[in-house]
Chain A
Amino acid sequence: MQVAPPDFDRMFGALADATRRDIVRRAIDGEQGILELAGHYPMSFAAVQKHVAILERAGLVTKERIGRRKVVRANLEGVLMVRRLLDRYEELWRNRIGRMTDLLAETTTDQGKETHR
C-alpha cells in the first residue's frame, strides 16, 4: 500500500526563495495588501504576483479580495487543516470499502444457495 507522503517538496520549493520567505513572514505578521507588498521589493508587480501565486499553490498563503483590495494571508494552519481533512476522508472511504468487501463476501457465500438478483 502506498500512502502519499506530505507534499513537503512543494512547500520547501516555495520557501527556497528569499523573496517568498519574506512575503510569508510579512503575511504572518498580518494580512498584506498585494499592492503594498509589491512596494517592498525591487521587482515588478507582476513578478511579486507570481511569487504569491507559487506560495498560494503550496498552500502557504491565501489571497482574498476585500472590496477593491487584494490581500495575502499566511495559511500555515491551512495546510495542516486540509491534510487532516483528507486523512479523515481517507478513513471514511476505507471504512466504506471495508463494508463493500463484506457485502461482496456475503453474496459469494450465498451463491451456492441462490443466485444474486
Chain B
Amino acid sequence: MTVTAVRKDPDQLTLTLDAEFEATPERVWQLWADPRQLERWWGPPGYPATFTKHDLAPGSRVEYYMTTPEGETPRGYWEIVESEPPRYLNIRDGFANEDGTNNEEMPGPGVMNVTIAPVADGRTRMTIESIFPDTATMEQLLAMGQEEGLAEAVGQIDAILAEDTVAGASR
C-alpha cells in the first residue's frame, strides 16, 4: 500500500493524502511534468485524459479533456499558481469551455497542493492536498468522470501488466 495517510476535514472541504514511492523526487515530478505520463494516471479506466496544452511553469496554463464512454469530452484547465520542480506545485483546477477558456457557469475552481520530498532509503513522499470551494464543485468534478469503480481499476492494472510484457518483448 503506497498511500500512507489520509486526512479529511469536512469543515474546510479538504482532503489530504500522503503516498510513498520507490523512486526519486525527480522521477515522481515527471509523472506530473510529462503530459504523456500524466495521461496514464489522471483519468480512470474508461475515462482517458488528453492534455492538449501542458506547461508547469508558474503562471502558465494546462488544458485537458476527458473522454467518457459515451463519447463526451468534458474539459478542464489548470492554472499553475506556483511551481518549484521537483518539490512543489500549486494548481487551480477548474472546468473549461469547448474553446479552452474558463467555464464561469460551472462551480470551482478547486486548489491542489502537491508536495514532493525525499524520505529514507531513496523513497519519495508525495502529499496531495485538495481544497474545494464548495460541495457543488466536488459533485461536478466527480461527475466529470474522474471517479471509477474498483472492478475497472483492477482491469487497468491487468492492462498495464499486459502492456509491460509486450513492451519487454519488443525491446
Q: Is the CB of A82 within 8 A of B22?
A: no
Q: Is the CB of B147 within 8 A of A93?
A: no
Q: Is the CB of A93 within 8 A of B153?
A: no
Number of residues from A at the complex interface, CB < 8 A: 43
> Is B6 part of the binding interface, using a Cβ–Cβ cutoff of 8 Å?
yes
> Is B101 part of the binding interface, using a Cβ–Cβ cutoff of 8 Å?
no
Q: Is the CB of A1 within 8 A of B1?
A: yes
> Is A92 part of the binding interface, using a Cβ–Cβ cutoff of 8 Å?
yes
With a CB–CB cut-off of 8 A, which chain A residues contact B3?
Answer: 1, 93-94, 97
Query: B171 contacts which of A78, A81, A114 (Cβ < 8 Å)?
Result: A114
In whole angstroms, how far apart are the Cα atoms of A81 and B134 in the complex? 12
Query: B157 contacts which of A58, A87, A98, A100 (Cβ < 8 Å)?
Result: A98
Q: Is the CB of A83 within 8 A of B157?
A: no
Q: Is the CB of A90 within 8 A of B17?
A: yes
> Is A79 part of the binding interface, using a Cβ–Cβ cutoff of 8 Å?
yes
Q: Is the CB of A86 within 8 A of B4?
A: no
In whole angstroms, how far apart are the Cα atoms of A97 and B30 in the complex? 14
With a CB–CB cut-off of 8 A, which chain B residues contact A3?
Answer: 6
Q: Is the CB of B10 within 8 A of A103?
A: no
> Is A57 part of the binding interface, using a Cβ–Cβ cutoff of 8 Å?
yes
> Please, what's the 1-or-0 string for A1-12, where 1 marks a CB less than 8 Å from any CB in chain B?
111100100100
B1-23, CB < 8 A from A: 1-11, 13, 15, 17, 19, 21-23
Besides the contacts A98-B153, A103-B41, A109-B164, what 6 more A-B pairs have beta carbons closer than 8 Å?
A: A58-B11, A89-B15, A92-B146, A100-B19, A103-B40, A106-B167
Interface on B for A, CB 8 Å cutoff? 1-11, 13, 15, 17, 19, 21-23, 27-28, 30-31, 37, 40-42, 44, 126, 128, 130, 135, 138-139, 142, 146-148, 153, 156-157, 160, 164, 167-168, 171
Interface on A for B, CB 8 Å cutoff? 1-4, 7, 10, 57-59, 78-79, 81-83, 85-110, 113-114, 116
Q: 16 interchain pairs (CB within 8 A)?
A: A2-B5, A4-B6, A7-B9, A82-B10, A82-B135, A86-B138, A87-B8, A89-B15, A92-B142, A93-B15, A94-B17, A98-B157, A101-B19, A103-B40, A104-B31, A106-B167
